[in-house]
Each structure stands twice: as structure tokens, then as C-alpha cells.
Chain A
Amino acid sequence: MKKVLLGAVNLIVAGSPFVAHAEVPVVEHKQKVEAYNFASLKSIEGSWLKVANACKARGFNASPVELVDTSISSGAANIYAEFKA
């Protein structure tokens, strides 16, 4: 399994648009990491989607709260007082 995956990555690296010419024997280190990263993201997608949505992305979760708070703070009220119709 690992050999198959590595082979796939090597193909990606060889066929990568980062590589100017396929026959160039030395792939720049950074380009190689990028190719591996691309393959990694594809590879982990299934297991990533199983993680609760709450913990992802910039939408890092809002901590679970259900607070009833109907008041406006005095600081905010003072600011809104400057923006009255």
C-alpha cells in the first residue's frame, strides 16, 4: 500500500507543473514538498471529513455556550448613544 502511494506521489512530482521539464533529474526540494503536500491533502480528505465540523477552518469552533444574556453592556450603550437617529 505504502509503495503504491509513494509511486503515485512520484508520478505527481514528475508530472507536476512545478517541474519545468520532465527530464530534469533534480526536483527542487520545495517543489517536491509541495507535490507531497498536494498528495497528502488528497490522502487525508476522507479521515478529515470524519472530524466534527466544529473544529475546522477559520470557523474554529465557538465554544459551546447557550447563555441567555439580554443586556447591552454600558460601554457599548455609550458608543451607540453617539450614533442615535
Chain B
Amino acid sequence: MKPTVISFSSKEIANLRGKYLHLKNEVTLFSDDVYFSSQVASLGLAREVGTVNDELARFIFDADSKQPVTQSSLKADFVEWRGLFGIKINSSETQRMTLRTKGFYDVVHPEFSFNADGTLHSLYIFPEIINRIAKTHDVDLVLVKTWGMNSIFGGFDPSKGYYQTNFWEIENNDSIKFADLVRHGQVAFLGTHDLIAHIAGIDKVHWPLLKANADRVYHAIRNYFIVTQKPTIASLILPYTLGVVLDDLAQPPSYSSLNHIAVLDELILRLAKNEITPNQPTLLTEFPKSFQTIIDMSRTPEIQNTPERYRSVIASLVQEVLRSSITGVG
């Protein structure tokens, strides 16, 4: 028996949202209610597929033209099969697709997705099975309540670059939450980024080191804000930068990357200097240009051999933040 395409009505989605909003904890293991979690993850994926927020698309190629399929040609349907809830992705451009990133094939059900020649006509994705695969690597997939509320259930317009045009990750100090997940061997599964950047290609060999680095990031940020009830935006820039580098490090292609770890080390050291006061009311007028340079450097192989390069840019980031900060009367 093959998976059946099912409708997922607005009423059913509203019910799912209601249940989600009543989750008791900020972090819920997939395995606590795997069918519900699969529905949430499937909805998150389906909302992004074919939109500007679709991070799968650039790795899906037309086997004949050897070009990536057009993002907007991708469409997701909900499917059910033997009590599993999932999605099926198709492209209106081709029924002969190939996938070009490590681990992508691991998250696509092979029995239903392939043509006889090894190309794919569809991508059948079942979060429950993916959770089982992650568990073989000692990683737990989880739902993060506030992240889901900000994205899947946040009423965002899928046609807009939602993630690119809002600040909630800085504002909410999500870096510490992300570090906390990783140090506990957990990965959020709420959308296409989680699936392709963190879950596909997951490898337990690298996780002990990753968890140790996440633990260092977690404690660095926690100590920085330990007496701060409400951090200022200016003080959240450096932790945010740490979070971006850690996020890269938590992606299989960058696992155990010495260049990322070197930049991470320097960011942690810099944060410990407490140069940007976290609890003094401050108006930040510019986002620091050095941010992008730091991220680029963390992705540069062998950068760890020239520490003066990233040290000076990280110092510049702090200086930029300080120069763009107007302190009010606390």
C-alpha cells in the first residue's frame, strides 16, 4: 500500500495550533507524541516548500538539465501511510530529480520516491522515520514552542522572506536556547532549514565535540547575562554572532571545523570581557558591518592559523556596537 495524499483542512490546522499553544514545555521531544510532532514538522516543511524560505530547493536538481529546479515549481502535499504523517514534494518541472547534498537521500523514503533509473519523481518525507534515524545517532528531534509560534503558527506570509526580515532571534536571545538544545543532543525540527542543514547527514561521531562547544557557548552567554533581567539589543549582537557560528558548526558539512571553533573561541573570550554593558538602556543605531566578515572568516579554511585576522574583526565588531550605542539614563 502506498501513501495516500490527504487534505489538511484549516480547521485541522487550527486544532493543531491550539494543541501546540498548550504545550507545557518550551522543548518537547518528538517521541513524546510522535504523530502530533510529525504533523507540526510536516506543516512547517509544507509551508516553506516552493517559497523563498525553502532551504531544500537549492539542493534539488533536474536530472536532465543538471540545473536546480525552480524553487516555485516545488509543491508539497500531506500524506499518510500506515499511521505515519508526512509530506510528498513534487516539482512541476520534472519527474526526474536528483539531490545534491550529503544526507539528503537519508531523509527521503526510498521505496516511494525513486524511479527505476535512480532518479526521483517525488520526495516522500516522514518525520517519524527521520526521528528514528536521528536516534541512531543519539540525537533527539524536538519541537521548540516559541520558535514554532514565531514561524509555523505565527501567521507569516510564506511568500515573504520571513526569516530574513525580522529580528526575533536577536531579540529573544535564541543563541542560548540553541546552544542549550545542542549541548543536550537535541535538534529542532520545524522547517526546511532544520531538515537540510542539521538533520540530513547527522553523524554521532562528531557530536561529543559539538556538544562540548555548545556547552561552552551556553555558559558564556549565561554568565554574560547572569544579572541582567532584560538585555539590550546592543548586548545581544555578540551572543547572536556566537549563535550563528555555532549553528554552522552544528551542520554536518562543518562538523568539527577548526576554523569555526577558532572563531567561536575568540567570540567567547571577547564576550567574557563584558565590554558592552547588557543592562544599561541603550539605543543601537547601526547593525555592525563586521558581523558578516566574522561569519565569512569562520567559514574560511585554515583561518585558525592566522588568529590576528579574526581577532581584529571581532574587536571591530565590539567597537562598532559601542560607537553605534547611545546610552540612556538607566
Q: Do A and B bind each other?
A: yes
The answer to whether A57 and B295 have CB atoms under 8 Å apart is no
The answer to whether B111 and A32 have CB atoms under 8 Å apart is no
Give the chain B neighbours of A84 by CB distance below 8 A: 111
Given contacts A53-B161, A67-B100, contact A60 B285 (CB under 8 A): no
Shortest Cβ gap from B81 to chain A (Å): 8
Shortest Cβ gap from A53 to chain B (Å): 5
Chain B 148-181: CB-based contact to A (< 8 A → 1; otherwise 0): 0001000000000101111111110010000000
Given contacts A55-B292, A63-B299, A83-B129, contact A40 B164 (CB under 8 A): no
A79 CA / B132 CA spacing, docked (Å):
7
The answer to whether A59 and B100 have CB atoms under 8 Å apart is no
Given contacts A62-B251, A70-B118, contact A55 B295 (CB under 8 A): yes
Q: Interface-forming stretch among B206-214, B242-250, B305-313?
A: B242-250
Shortest Cβ gap from A29 to chain B (Å): 6
The answer to whether B193 and A58 have CB atoms under 8 Å apart is yes
The answer to whether A71 and B281 have CB atoms under 8 Å apart is no
The answer to whether A70 and B105 have CB atoms under 8 Å apart is yes
Give the chain A neighbours of B163 by CB distance below 8 A: 56-59
Does A52 have its Cβ within 8 Å of any Cβ on chain B? yes
How many A-B pairs with Cβ below 8 Å? 177
Chain B 233-269: CB-based contact to A (< 8 A → 1; otherwise 0): 1100000000110011001011000000000000000
Of the four ranges (under 10, 10 to 19, 20 to 34, 35 or more), the interface on chain A belongs to: 35 or more
Given contacts A51-B287, A83-B82, contact A36 B328 (CB under 8 A): yes
Chain A 64-85: CB-based contact to B (< 8 A → 1; otherwise 0): 1111111111011101101111
Q: Which of B129, B165, B243, B326 has the most CB of A within 10 A?
A: B326
The answer to whether B287 and A48 have CB atoms under 8 Å apart is yes
Give the chain B neighbours of A77 by CB distance below 8 A: 110
The answer to whether A62 and B193 have CB atoms under 8 Å apart is yes
Chain A 20-59: CB-based contact to B (< 8 A → 1; otherwise 0): 0000000001101111110111011001111111011111
Does A14 have its Cβ within 8 Å of any Cβ on chain B? no
The answer to whether A59 and B104 have CB atoms under 8 Å apart is no
Shortest Cβ gap from B89 to chain A (Å): 17
Shortest Cβ gap from B294 to chain A (Å): 9
Given contacts A41-B171, A57-B164, contact A73 B283 (CB under 8 A): no
The answer to whether A51 and B291 have CB atoms under 8 Å apart is yes
Given contacts A36-B282, A41-B167, A47-B286, contact A69 B129 (CB under 8 A): no
Q: Which of B103, B169, B285 has the most CB of A within 10 A?
A: B285
The answer to whether B283 and A60 have CB atoms under 8 Å apart is no
Give the chain A neighbours of B233 by CB distance below 8 A: 36-37, 40-41, 44
The answer to whether B253 and A63 have CB atoms under 8 Å apart is yes
Does A5 have its Cβ within 8 Å of any Cβ on chain B? yes
**Given A48-B167, A56-B163, 14 more pairs with CB closer than 8 A:** A29-B229, A29-B281, A33-B232, A36-B282, A40-B233, A40-B282, A51-B287, A57-B168, A59-B163, A65-B253, A66-B100, A69-B102, A80-B109, A85-B1
User: What would be 22 A-B contacts, judged by CB atoms less than 8 Å apart?
Assistant: A2-B326, A5-B326, A29-B230, A30-B230, A33-B231, A33-B232, A35-B281, A40-B282, A40-B284, A40-B285, A43-B283, A43-B286, A56-B163, A57-B168, A57-B169, A59-B163, A62-B196, A67-B102, A68-B98, A75-B136, A76-B107, A84-B111
Chain A interface (Cβ < 8 Å from any Cβ of B)? 2, 5-6, 9-10, 29-30, 32-37, 39-41, 43-44, 47-53, 55-73, 75-77, 79-80, 82-85
Chain B interface (Cβ < 8 Å from any Cβ of A)? 1-2, 53, 55, 82, 84, 98-107, 109-112, 118, 126, 129, 132-133, 136-137, 147, 151, 161, 163-171, 174, 188, 190-191, 193, 196-197, 229-234, 243-244, 247-248, 251, 253-254, 279, 281-287, 289, 291-292, 295, 299, 326, 328, 330
